[in-house]
Amino acid sequence: MARNRRRRRPDPPGPIGFLVVDKPVGWTSHDVVDAARRWLGIRKVGHLGTLDPLATGVLPLAIRGATKLVPFLADGQKTYVGTIRLGVSTDTFDAEGRVTHEHDGPLPEEPVVKQAVQAFRGEIQQLPPMYSSVKKDGVPLYRLARKGEEVERELRSVTIHQISMPHYEPPEIGIEVHCTPGTYVRTLAADLGEKLGCGAHLSGLRRTRSGPFTLEQARTPEAWEALAEAGELEAELTPPDQALELPRVRLTAVQARKVGHGAAIPAAEASGEFEMGPPPRPGDRLSALIPSGEMLAVMELRPDRWLHPLRLLDGS
């Protein structure tokens, strides 16, 4: 017998774009997504890059059709500031975990710690922690960890572009990291503790940048909720072309209709000028805008000098 399925009502139409939440301690990234769905009365909301419940700071959300642009923003660099507690190791590599080791000797001096911190600069190998959303045979590692299981994991290459120690106040030190996506600062803390021989864990973390999104753009959940209640939230969305930071080209109404149906157009016939930087080269991507200024598509210039749509946007 066919099972009766309740169909969800489609989301009401509205503007697309991004909003940046200053995630509080204790909230999961999914908690923030669920809150945004309530504020906007829609289901189509996604986040760009998970933050652990312990962490705070920049969590960008894609609203409505902007969810289609998440793959174009997934490689954005991240910046974090935080604190590492020397002398105590935990099974989660952060302050939420069970203590697995306590160092009973003196902690290393500041020059030694600073030198060890700098050794992590550049491309490094990290082993994802068991308490993470990385999947093994389709099962998130954290589920296995909660059962007391530990499985083999593959090392991953990440790049630490910049790393510094702003303060040294043992047993805690400050840390600032600019890195590629996929970097676990918790793992960095644990690896630092192992390198120093005293153990360590991450005791606090705040993300200050995620790709083009910064802490200056972020608002607390309470602030976003207040804007929603006043009917002003959607006006504060970051437009998708602004978030992508690609060169922009404006289409005529006729071209916009063609592109909206998936057709390519000759670059030479694109109306207006390429609005950011020099003319594009084959392989470059652009934000295509309709005459009124809203973004219609991500397009790519091919060697044939035609602009081909890669991703079409809509308000749904």
Same domain, 226 and 284: no
Same domain, 86 and 191: yes
Same domain, 275 and 181: no
Residues 6+ apart with CB under 8 A from 171: 85, 86, 87, 88, 107
Q: Is the pTM of this model over 0.75?
A: yes
In a domain, 9, yes or no: no
Same domain, 89 and 145: yes
List the CATH number of the domain containing 27.
3.30.2350.10
* Tokens matching residue 28: 């999961």
Same domain, 99 and 127: yes
**Cα R_g (the chain), whole angstroms:** 23
In a domain, 8, yes or no: no
Provide the number of structural domains found in the chain: 3
In a domain, 138, yes or no: yes
Same domain, 124 and 187: yes
In a domain, 203, yes or no: no
pLDDT by residue, tens only, the chain of 316 residues: 445 455 677 888 889 999 999 999 999 999 999 999 999 999 999 999 889 899 999 999 999 999 999 999 988 899 999 999 999 999 999 999 999 999 999 999 999 999 999 999 999 999 877 666 666 666 666 676 676 767 677 889 999 999 999 999 999 999 999 999 989 999 999 999 999 999 999 999 999 999 999 999 999 999 999 999 999 999 999 999 999 999 888 899 999 999 999 999 998 776 544 544 567 789 999 999 999 999 999 999 999 999 999 999 975 4
In a domain, 58, yes or no: yes
Same domain, 136 and 115: yes
List the CATH number of the domain containing 281.
2.30.130.10
Any catalytic annotation for residue 52?
yes
Give residue 277's pLDDT: 57
Same domain, 174 and 117: yes
Alpha-carbon distance of 151 to 131, in angstroms, equals 11
Give residue 268's pLDDT: 79
Same domain, 270 and 185: no
Give residue 184's pLDDT: 93
Same domain, 167 and 87: yes
Give residue 140's pLDDT: 66
Burial 123-134 (b: 16+ CB within 10 A, else e): ebebebbbbbeb
| Per annotation, catalytic residue among 11, 34, 52, 284 | 52
> Do the Cβ atoms of 17 and 4 come closer than 8 Å?
no
In a domain, 2, yes or no: no
Same domain, 90 and 177: yes
Query: What is the domain range of residue 300?
Result: 246-312
Give residue 1's pLDDT: 42
Alpha-carbon distance of 30 to 18, in angstroms, equals 16
Same domain, 69 and 30: yes
In a domain, 208, yes or no: no
